[in-house]
């Protein structure tokens, strides 16, 4: 179930990270990204972080949290996330994956074509 824009905005008002708030506001401007905005507006403990080994079975993916470095990846995919640990970013780039932040992807791909949300 997708949250209403009003509820997302209310939940965003308590966030202290300017980058997170900016990402949520940009996501709200595009109908295809409203679901991502709803997930990002959750409390931090309920956001979904992902380890690299969890992404290896997926196609181009949006992670509404941080990508962590546990495991290996054996194929080239596009990983869009709120943030990446340094080790995870290095592993993904060495494997030939495309690494992009959600904010950058909203600007490049406003329709979110070809992307699936990790762990909905």
Q: What is the CATH number of the domain that holds 78?
A: 3.100.10.10
* Cβ-contact 77, 61 below 8 angstroms: yes
In the chain, the number of structural domains is 1
What residues make up the domain containing 48? 5-117
* Global pTM value: 0.90
Nearest Cα neighbor of 42 from 26, 60, 65 is 65
pLDDT tens for each residue of 81-112: 999 999 999 999 999 999 999 999 999 999 99
For residue 72, the tally of other CB atoms under 10 A from its CB is: 11
State residue 85's pLDDT score.
97
Residue 120 — very low, low, confident or very high, per pLDDT cuts 50/70/90? confident
pLDDT tens for each residue of 21-34: 999 999 999 999 99
Q: 1 pLDDT exceeds 70? A: no
């Amino acid at each position: 179930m997708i949250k209403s824009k009003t509820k997302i905005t209310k939940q965003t008002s308590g966030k202290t990270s300017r980058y997170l708030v900016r990402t949520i506001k940009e996501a709200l401007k595009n109908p295809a990204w409203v679901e991502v905005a709803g997930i990002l507006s959750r409390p931090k403990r309920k956001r979904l972080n992902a380890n690299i080994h969890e992404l290896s079975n997926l196609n181009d993916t949006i992670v509404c949290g941080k990508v962590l470095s546990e495991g290996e990846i054996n194929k080239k995919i596009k990983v869009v996330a709120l943030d990446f640990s340094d080790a995870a970013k290095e592993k993904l780039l060495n494997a030939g994956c495309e690494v992009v932040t959600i904010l950058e992807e909203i600007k490049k791909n406003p329709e979110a074509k070809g992307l699936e949300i990790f762990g909905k």
